[in-house]
Amino acid sequence: MREMFASTLREALKAKDTRRVSTIRLIQAAVKDRDIANRGAGKDPVCDDDIMQILAKMIKQREESARIYEDASRLELAQQEREEIDVIRSFLPQQLSDDDVRKACKRVVEETGASGLRDMGKCMNALKSEYSGQMDFAKASGVVKGLLHHE
């Protein structure tokens, strides 16, 4: 993914796409920060799965900021946040629809043999390993909890 960031940054620089350039640089800085933190803890540099988690977190932060800006009638700043979200999303795999998320959750609950809320962690770990970067795990957690609650 790091090479993809670098090549996309070069293309954005040539195209003079300032929003894309600044957003990609923010992504690279976030990845580098995590690399440095891992080095200090004696861990390996971040892998692609970790980078996807960083990107998902960046999207959540920007969605929250956009909501705050809209509430404060700062629509130009909200628009800027949404443009950054679009750039960040372009590096993530295609997101599953709500219906596909429900189907995946139901399948994982059945496959793991989960029979109650105590199996929630097992289900979520299975979803995260199989669908990393493809769904909002906070929403998926609610779906799984609902499925397990009815068991």
Contact 30, 46 (CB under 8 A): no
Per-residue pLDDT band at 151 (split at 50, 70, 90): low
Q: Provide the residue count of the chain.
A: 151
Class of the domain covering 98-149: mainly alpha
Contact 104, 66 (CB under 8 A): no
Question: The domain 2-89 belongs to what CATH superfamily?
Answer: Uncharacterised protein YqeY/AIM41, N-terminal domain (1.10.1510.10)
Q: Where in the chain is the domain with CATH 1.10.10.410?
A: 98-149
Residue 146 exposure: Cα atoms within 13 Å on the Cβ side: 10
Mean pLDDT of all residues belonging to the chain: 91
Tokens of 43: 């861990």
What pLDDT is attached to residue 138?
84
Please list, in sequence order, all residues whose beta carbon lies within 8 angstroms of the beta carbon of residue 108, skipping any fewer than 6 positions away. 114, 123, 126, 127, 130, 144
Per-residue pLDDT band at 49 (split at 50, 70, 90): confident
Judged by average pLDDT, the poorest of 11-15, 33-37, 84-88, 138-142 is: 138-142
Q: What average pLDDT does this structure show over 8-30?
A: 96
Q: What average pLDDT does this structure show over 15-39?
A: 95
Summarised one tens digit per residue, pLDDT across range 71-130 is 999 999 999 999 999 999 999 888 888 899 999 999 998 998 888 888 889 999 999 888
Q: Where in the chain is the domain with CATH 1.10.1510.10?
A: 2-89
What is d(CA 6, CA 48) in angstroms, rounded to the nearest whole number? 14
What pLDDT is attached to residue 87?
96
